[in-house]
C-alpha cells in the first residue's frame, strides 16, 4: 500500500495523468508507524506553528527555500582512505607517512568549525547526514573530516535537541574510511571550565570509542600544563592521534607586538612535541597569521620539531588563502579548509579554490573538483535555512588585526550584544575587546579566555567605562564572574602572568592560585554517578550520557525532557524545525531507514478559554490533532 491511496485528490478521481509524476513522494510505501513517535513530532510542529521557534525572533515570510541537490554517489564501496591507512600502518608509521608525502593534505571543517563560525553552530544532523557518506566516498584523500567538539557538543543538545554522541556515531558509520577529527579544549574538554582528570580521561576514551581518530588539543592560554594530561591519555589509552596546538595571536613580524614572538611559538612547539604530541596544530583562531609570518613560522618550526604540522585559520581578513600558499611553500603538512559555500569570512579558507589553485603545482593533492563543487552547491542551498544565525559581516575586514576576535566568537558576539540591548554599540564593543586584551596583559584569546575578554568588553560598554576608569574605580566595581574566574586561575596561567594591579582589583580579598585548575576537583566515581543518573532519568542511559550530564547538567536535563516530550526532532527537515508550516504544507519525515511518514498541516483552531489551540494534521492521510497553549 502506498500513500497515493489516502491522497484526497487521487481518491476523488480528479487526478490527471500528471498527478503521479508531480507527486512522486506519494509512492513512498506506507507502514505502520509508531503512533507515539509521530504524535511527539506533531506536538513539536504545532508548537512552532502556534508560538514560533524560540531561537528565531523574526521570520522572513517571503523567503522561499530552494531544494538542495544531494550529489549522486557512484561508488558502492568506500575507497581506501586515511582511516584505513592509520589502521594498517599504526600510529607512528602513519605520522611518518603524512610527514614524508610531498602532496598537501586537507582537513574539511564544514561539519564543525565552518558552521560554528558562520551560523552559531546550528547545522543539524538532518543536513549533515545527507552528504557524509558521499563526501567520504568522493574525497578519501582527505586527511580528516573535522566533525565534532568545540561548541558543537553543547549546542547540539541545547539548541538542536540532538544527542552529540549519536551524531558522532552516525557520522562514523557514514564515513568509516576517513579520519574523524574533534576539537578538545584541554582541561575544559568540550566545556567552558575545568573538569577532573578522570573526567577528561573518560571523555577521551569514549570519544575514541565512538569514532574520533584525531584529537586537536588546545589550552585557551597556551598553558602547557593544561594540555599535558590530555596528550598523555590519547597516547596511552587510545589508538588515536594527539594533535596539540599552539594558539597563534599577535604578529611575529610586528616589532611592536613581540610578547608572542617567533621564539615563544617555537619553544611551545618543542614542549608539546616533548609532551608526546603526534602532530602540531597552529591554531590561528582569529585569522591573524599573515602570509609572510606563516612562511617564517613554518620554516622555523620545521627546523625544530619533527612531527607533522597542521595549519588552521579563519578567513576573517579574506587574505588567508595566501597564508596557506606561503605555508604550503614552507612545507606545512595539512591545512584546514571548508567547502566553498561554507568558507570565507569568519570560517576557513575555500577548499574548492585552493584545490584549483594548486593544480599542476609540486604539492598538488588531486581531488575531484567537480564533485567538490557539487557538495558546495548542496551547502549553498542548505545554508539558507540558517539565515537567522548568520553574522552581519559581508566582506573580509582588516579590523580583525586590531580587535583579534576569534572567528567562532565573532558570529556570536552580535547576538550577545543584541541580548543586552547593545547592538548599536558593536563598534565600541570591538574597540573595547582590544582595550580589554591590553588591560589583561595581552593574552591568548580562544574559548574560554576569549569569552572572558568578550564579557569584560560588554561590561565596559554597558557601563560606559574607559580603561582608566576600570583601574581607578576597580575596587568598587563588581567585575563579571568570568573575569574573576580568569584572574583567580580557573583557566590556568597566562604567559608572563596576570597584571598584578588589575588582579587585586578584580579579586578584592580573594587569593589567586597557580596550580592546575582541576587540581582541587575531586575525581568522579563513574559507577556511583551512573547509578544516580539511572535513578534520576532512566536506566538506559550510558557512560556517554553521564559525561554529557557531568559537563552540562542543566542542558542535559532539558535535552532529556525535551526529547521525552517532543521525540526525535532531528528527523524533521530543517525548514520545518525552524519555521512554522503553512496550511496544507506537507513534509516527509524519515523515521527509520526507509520508513517515511508524510505530515501535512491542515488547520489551526482559535484559542479556547484557557488559551489552547487545536492544531490538525494528517499523518499518512489520517487526521490527528494536538492542543497547544498559545503563549501570545
Cα separation of 508 and 259, whole Å? 28
Q: Name the minimum Å distance from CB 370 to ligand 3PY.
A: 31
Which is nearer to ligand 3PY, 81 or 408 (by Cβ)? 408
Which is nearer to ligand 3PY, 81 or 406 (by Cβ)? 406
Q: Is 315 in the site for Zn ion (CB under 5 A)?
A: no
Question: What SS3 state is found at 29?
Answer: strand
Positions 94 through 113 that interact with ligand 3PY (CB under 6 A): 113
Cα separation of 371 and 75, whole Å? 13
Report how many residues bind Zn ion under the rule CB under 5 A. 2
Q: Name the minimum Å distance from CB 284 to ligand 3PY.
A: 9
- Count of alpha carbons within 13 Å of 184, Cβ hemisphere only? 33
Q: Are 529 and 553 in contact (CB under 8 A)?
A: no
Which residues, at least 6 apart from 136, have a Cβ–Cβ distance to it below 8 Å? 78, 81, 145, 174, 175, 176, 177, 178
Cα separation of 226 and 60, whole Å? 45
Which is nearer to Zn ion, 285 or 345 (by Cβ)? 285
Whole-angstrom CA distances from 103 to 243, 335, 348 are: 20, 11, 20
Cell output for 559: 535535552
Q: Is 408 in the site for ligand 3PY (CB under 6 A)?
A: yes
Count Cβ neighbours within 10 Å for each residue of 324-335 and write b for 16 or more, e otherwise.
bbbbbbbbbbbb
Q: Is 454 in the site for ligand 3PY (CB under 6 A)?
A: no
Which is nearer to Zn ion, 285 or 334 (by Cβ)? 285
Which residues, at least 6 apart from 481, have a Cβ–Cβ distance to it below 8 Å? none
Positions 115 through 144 that interact with ligand 3PY (CB under 6 A): 116
Closest CA to 105 of 300, 376, 364, 289: 364
The three-state DSSP-derived secondary structure of 249-305 is CCCCCCCCCCCCCHHHHHHHHHHHHHCCCCEEEEEECCCCCCHHHHHHHHHHHHHHC
Which is nearer to ligand 3PY, 191 or 512 (by Cβ)? 191
Residue 617 pairs in a beta bridge with 601, 624
Which is nearer to ligand 3PY, 245 or 524 (by Cβ)? 245
Q: From the CB of residue 567, how many other CB atoms can be counted at a distance below 10 Å?
A: 22
430 binds, among Zn ion, ligand 3PY, none (CB under 5 to 8 A by kind): none
Element housing 216 (H / E): strand 214-217
Q: Name the minimum Å distance from CB 628 to ligand 3PY.
A: 35
Cα separation of 276 and 244, whole Å? 9
Which is nearer to ligand 3PY, 268 or 358 (by Cβ)? 268
Which is nearer to Zn ion, 125 or 320 (by Cβ)? 320
Q: From the CB of residue 399, how many other CB atoms can be counted at a distance below 10 Å?
A: 15
What is the sign, positive or negative, of the torsion defined by CA atoms of 471, 475, 481, 486?
positive
Calculate ∠ Cα 518-524-527, nearest 5°: 165
183 binds, among ligand 3PY, Zn ion, none (CB under 5 to 8 A by kind): ligand 3PY
Q: Is 146 in the site for Zn ion (CB under 5 A)?
A: no
Main-chain phi, psi angles of 158, to 5 degrees? -70, -45
Residue 232 CA from chain centroid, whole number: 25
Q: Name the minimum Å distance from CB 187 to ligand 3PY.
A: 13
Element housing 581 (H / E): none
Cell output for 328: 604550503
- 134 exposed, middle or buried (CB, 10 Å; 0-12, 13-18, 19+)? buried
Residue nearest to ligand 3PY (CB): 150
Q: Name the minimum Å distance from CB 492 to ligand 3PY.
A: 15
447 binds, among ligand 3PY, Zn ion, none (CB under 5 to 8 A by kind): ligand 3PY
Q: Name the minimum Å distance from CB 220 to ligand 3PY.
A: 8
Cell output for 96: 611518518
Q: Which of 204, 285, 334, 400 binds ligand 3PY (CB under 6 A)?
A: 285
Q: Are 433 and 409 in contact (CB under 8 A)?
A: no
Residue 387 is classified by DSSP as: G
Q: Is 185 in the site for ligand 3PY (CB under 6 A)?
A: yes
Q: Name the minimum Å distance from CB 149 to ligand 3PY.
A: 7
Which is nearer to Zn ion, 116 or 230 (by Cβ)? 116
Q: From the CB of residue 304, how many other CB atoms can be counted at a distance below 10 Å?
A: 12
Positions 47 through 106 that interact with Zn ion (CB under 5 A): none
Which is nearer to Zn ion, 343 or 503 (by Cβ)? 343
Which is nearer to Zn ion, 116 or 574 (by Cβ)? 116
- 120 exposed, middle or buried (CB, 10 Å; 0-12, 13-18, 19+)? buried
Q: Name the minimum Å distance from CB 515 to ligand 3PY.
A: 23
Binding mask 43-62 for ligand 3PY (x = CB under 6 A): --------------------
Positions 256 through 295 that interact with Zn ion (CB under 5 A): 285
Which is nearer to ligand 3PY, 45 or 151 (by Cβ)? 151
> 622-629 and 586-592 as β-strands: parallel, antiparallel, unpaired?
unpaired
Which is nearer to ligand 3PY, 286 or 601 (by Cβ)? 286
574 binds, among ligand 3PY, Zn ion, none (CB under 5 to 8 A by kind): none
Q: Which of 406, 492, 494, 580 binds ligand 3PY (CB under 6 A)?
A: 406
Which is nearer to Zn ion, 30 or 115 (by Cβ)? 115
321 binds, among Zn ion, ligand 3PY, none (CB under 5 to 8 A by kind): none
Q: Which of 68, 71, 134, 150 binds ligand 3PY (CB under 6 A)?
A: 150
| DSSP H stretches of helix in 145-261 | 152-158, 164-174, 197-210, 225-237
Cα separation of 479 and 465, whole Å? 12
Positions 330 through 389 that interact with ligand 3PY (CB under 6 A): none
Q: Is 113 in the site for Zn ion (CB under 5 A)?
A: yes
245 binds, among Zn ion, ligand 3PY, none (CB under 5 to 8 A by kind): none
Q: Name the minimum Å distance from CB 65 to Zn ion.
A: 28
Q: Is 186 in the site for ligand 3PY (CB under 6 A)?
A: no
Residue 494 is classified by DSSP as: -
Q: Name the minimum Å distance from CB 217 to Zn ion.
A: 14
412 binds, among Zn ion, ligand 3PY, none (CB under 5 to 8 A by kind): none
Q: Which of 446, 452, 550, 599 binds ligand 3PY (CB under 6 A)?
A: 446
Report how many residues bind ligand 3PY under the rule CB under 6 A. 11
Q: Which of 447, 461, 503, 576 binds ligand 3PY (CB under 6 A)?
A: 447
Q: Are 336 and 354 in contact (CB under 8 A)?
A: no
User: For binding to ligand 3PY (CB under 6 A), which residues are involved?
Assistant: 113, 116, 150-151, 183, 185, 285, 406, 408, 446-447
User: For binding to Zn ion (CB under 5 A), which residues are involved?
Assistant: 113, 285
Amino acid at each position: 500500500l502506498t500513500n497515493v491511496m489516502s491522497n484526497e485528490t487521487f481518491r476523488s478521481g480528479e487526478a490527471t495523468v500528471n498527478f503521479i509524476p508531480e507527486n512522486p513522494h506519494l509512492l513512498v510505501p506506507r507502514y505502520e508507524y509508531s503512533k507515539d513517535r509521530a504524535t511527539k513530532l506533531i506536538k513539536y510542529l504545532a508548537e512552532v506553528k502556534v508560538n514560533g521557534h524560540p531561537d528565531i525572533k523574526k521570520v522572513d515570510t517571503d523567503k522561499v527555500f530552494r531544494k538542495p541537490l544531494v550529489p549522486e554517489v557512484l561508488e558502492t564501496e568506500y575507497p581506501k582512505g586515511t582511516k584505513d591507512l592509520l589502521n594498517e600502518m599504526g600510529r607512528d608509521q602513519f605520522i611518518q607517512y603524512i610527514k614524508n608525502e610531498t602532496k598537501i593534505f586537507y582537513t574539511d571543517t564544514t561539519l564543525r568549525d565552518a558552521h560554528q563560525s558562520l551560523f552559531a553552530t546550528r547545522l543539524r544532523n538532518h543536513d549533515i547526514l545527507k552528504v557524509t557518506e558521499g563526501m567520504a566516498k568522493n574525497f578519501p584523500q582527505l586527511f580528516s573530516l573535522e566533525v565534532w567538539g568545540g561548541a558543537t557538543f553543547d549546542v547540539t543538545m541545547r539548541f538542536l535537541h540532538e544527542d552529540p554522541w549519536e551524531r558522532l556515531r552516525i557520522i562514523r558509520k557514514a564515513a568509516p574510511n576517513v579520519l574523524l577529527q574533534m576539537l578538545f579544549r584541554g582541561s575544559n574538554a568540550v566545556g567552558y571550565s575545568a573538569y577532573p582528570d578522570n573526567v577528561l580521561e573518560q571523555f577521551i576514551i569514549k570519544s575514541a570509542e565512538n569514532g574520533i581518530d584525531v584529537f586537536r588539543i588546545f589550552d585557551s592560554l597556551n598553558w602547557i600544563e593544561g594540555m599535558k594530561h590530555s596528550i598523555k591519555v590519547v597516547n596511552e589509552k587510545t589508538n588515536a592521534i594527539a594533535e596539540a596546538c599552539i594558539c597563534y595571536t599577535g604578529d611575529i613580524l610586528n616589532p611592536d607586538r613581540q610578547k608572542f614572538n617567533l621564539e615563544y611559538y617555537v619553544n611551545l612547539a618543542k614542549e608539546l612535541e616533548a609532551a608526546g604530541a603526534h602532530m602540531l596544530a597552529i591554531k590561528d583562531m582569529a585569522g591573524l597569521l599573515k602570509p609572510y609570518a606563516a612562511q617564517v613560522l613554518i620554516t622555523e618550526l620545521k627546523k625544530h620539531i619533527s612531527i607533522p604540522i597542521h595549519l588552521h585559520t579563519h578567513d576573517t581578513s579574506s587574505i588567508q588563502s595566501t597564508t596557506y600558499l606561503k605555508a604550503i611553500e614552507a612545507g606545512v603538512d595539512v591545512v584546514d579548509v571548508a567547502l566553498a559555500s561554507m568558507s570565507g569570512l569568519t570560517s576557513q579558507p575555500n577548499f574548492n579554490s585552493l584545490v584549483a589553485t594548486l593544480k599542476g603545482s609540486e604539492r598538488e593533492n588531486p581531488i575531484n573538483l567537480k564533485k567538490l563543487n557539487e557538495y558546495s552547491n548542496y551547502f549553498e542551498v542548505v545554508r539558507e535555512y540558517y539565515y537567522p544565525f548568520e553574522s552581519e559581516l559581508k566582506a573580509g575586514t582588516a579590523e580583525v588585526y586590531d580587535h583579534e576576535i576569534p572567528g567562532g566568537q565573532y558570529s556570536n558576539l552580535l547576538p550577545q550584544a543584541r541580548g543586552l540591548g547593545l547592538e548599536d554599540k558593536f563598534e565600541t564593543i570591538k574597540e573595547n575587546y582590544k582595550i580589554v586584551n591590553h588591560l589583561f596583559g595581552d593574552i591568548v584569546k580562544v574559548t574560554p579566555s576569549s569569552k572572558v575578554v568578550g564579557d569584560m568588553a560588554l561590561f565596559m560598554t554597558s557601563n560606559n567605562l574607559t580603561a582608566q576608569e576600570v583601574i581607578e574605580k576597580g575596587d568598587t566595581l563588581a567585575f563579571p564572574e568570568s573575569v574573576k574566574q580568569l584572574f583567580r586561575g580557573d583557566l590556568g596561567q597566562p604567559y608572563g602572568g596576570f597584571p598584578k594591579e588589575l588582579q587585586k582589583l578584580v579579586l578584592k580579598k580573594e587569593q589567586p592560585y597557580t596550580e592546575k585548575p582541576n587540581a582541587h576537583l575531586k575525581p568522579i566515581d563513574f559507577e556511583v554517578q551512573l547509578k544516580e543518573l539511572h535513578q534520576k532519568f532512566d536506566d538506559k542511559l550510558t557512560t556517554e550520557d553521564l559525561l554529557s550530564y557531568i559537563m552540562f547538567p542543566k542542558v542535559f536535563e532539558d535535552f532529556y525532557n525535551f526529547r521525552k516530550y517532543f521525540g526525535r526532532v532531528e528527523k524533521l527537515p530543517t525548514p520545518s524545525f525552524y519555521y512554522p508550516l503553512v496550511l496544507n504544507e506537507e513534509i516527509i519525515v524519515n523515521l527509520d531507514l526507509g520508513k517515511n511518514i508524510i505530515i501535512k498541516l491542515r488547520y489551526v483552531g482559535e484559542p479556547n478559554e484557557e488559551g489552547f489551540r487545536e492544531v490538525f494534521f494528517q499523518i499518512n492521510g489520517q487526521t490527528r490533532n494536538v492542543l497547544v497553549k498559545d503563549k501570545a
